[in-house]
């Protein structure tokens, strides 16, 4: 059945060359754990992407139940965890995955830095990777408020106060994020939801596409 479906698609859009280009791509020996134990450090990038995929899929599930307003945000999260089948598991995966992905990104960035993989000709990919890191931090910050509990509320207030201290544009940046420059309220929640679900994921997907294209064009950096 799967083969018939593949043949049907291949007959119409000729996916065989694309699949062969992906599947037949040779991986350098120094990134194969079967040859070098140190090759495990090259797995950090792939593991990070795996966690990102989990975050995207679990986040899509959560948005089917989440209500982004101050009256029902916490209630919808509580309903998801207590009434929806496996809801507590999926929300737990998303909650802990937000921390795991930052740790994996940090490990991947450290590997690239200490092995000098950011040097010529990979400077552009290094800059793209740094932007991905900041986008993920933004996703973590904006997602923290969404449960709308006491910890999320006051933590976001601290984060907005930090944003207010940015030179020259601090007050404008805080107003842009919070909606209301004085309080964390309904506008803040809806803005954080929009940024978390639409704006930052769009930027993340675009940056990941550039990141993977550059890796494919330039290859994986050699060992020390």
If 0-12 CB within 10 Å is exposed, 13-18 middle and 19+ buried, where does residue 158 land?
exposed
CATH architecture, domain defined by 2-218: Up-down Bundle (1.20)
Other CB atoms within a 10 A radius of the CB of residue 73 amount to: 22
pLDDT in tens, 58-109: 999 999 999 999 999 999 999 999 999 999 999 999 999 999 999 999 999 9
CA distance linking residue 79 with residue 103, whole number of Å: 30
CA distance linking residue 88 with residue 74, whole number of Å: 14
- Residue 14 pLDDT greater than 90, yes or no: no
**Where are the domains positioned within the chain?**
2-218
pLDDT in tens, 125-155: 999 999 999 999 999 999 999 999 999 999 9
**Cα of 137 vs its chain's centroid, Å:** 9
């Amino acid at each position: 059945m799967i083969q018939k479906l593949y043949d049907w698609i291949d007959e119409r859009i000729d996916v065989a060359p694309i699949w062969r280009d992906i599947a037949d791509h040779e991986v350098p020996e120094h990134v194969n754990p079967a040859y070098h134990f140190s090759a495990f450090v090259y797995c950090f990038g792939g593991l990070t992407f795996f966690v990102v995929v989990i975050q995207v899929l679990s986040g899509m599930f959560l948005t089917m139940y989440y209500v982004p307003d101050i009256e029902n945000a916490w209630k919808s999260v509580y309903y998801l965890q207590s009434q929806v089948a496996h809801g507590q598991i999926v929300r737990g995966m998303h909650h802990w995955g937000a921390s795991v992905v930052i740790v994996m990104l940090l490990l991947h960035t450290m590997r690239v830095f200490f092995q000098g993989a950011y040097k010529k000709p990979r400077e552009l990919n290094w800059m793209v990777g740094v932007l991905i890191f900041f986008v993920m931090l933004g996703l973590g910050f904006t997602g923290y408020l969404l449960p709308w509990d006491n910890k999320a509320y006051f933590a976001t207030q601290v984060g907005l106060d930090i944003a207010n201290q940015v030179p020259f544009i601090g007050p404008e940046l805080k107003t842009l994020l919070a909606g209301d420059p004085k309080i964390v309220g309904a506008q803040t929640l809806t803005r954080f939801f929009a940024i978390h679900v639409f704006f930052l994921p769009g930027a993340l997907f675009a940056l990941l596409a550039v990141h993977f294209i550059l890796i494919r064009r330039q290859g994986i950096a050699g060992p020390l």
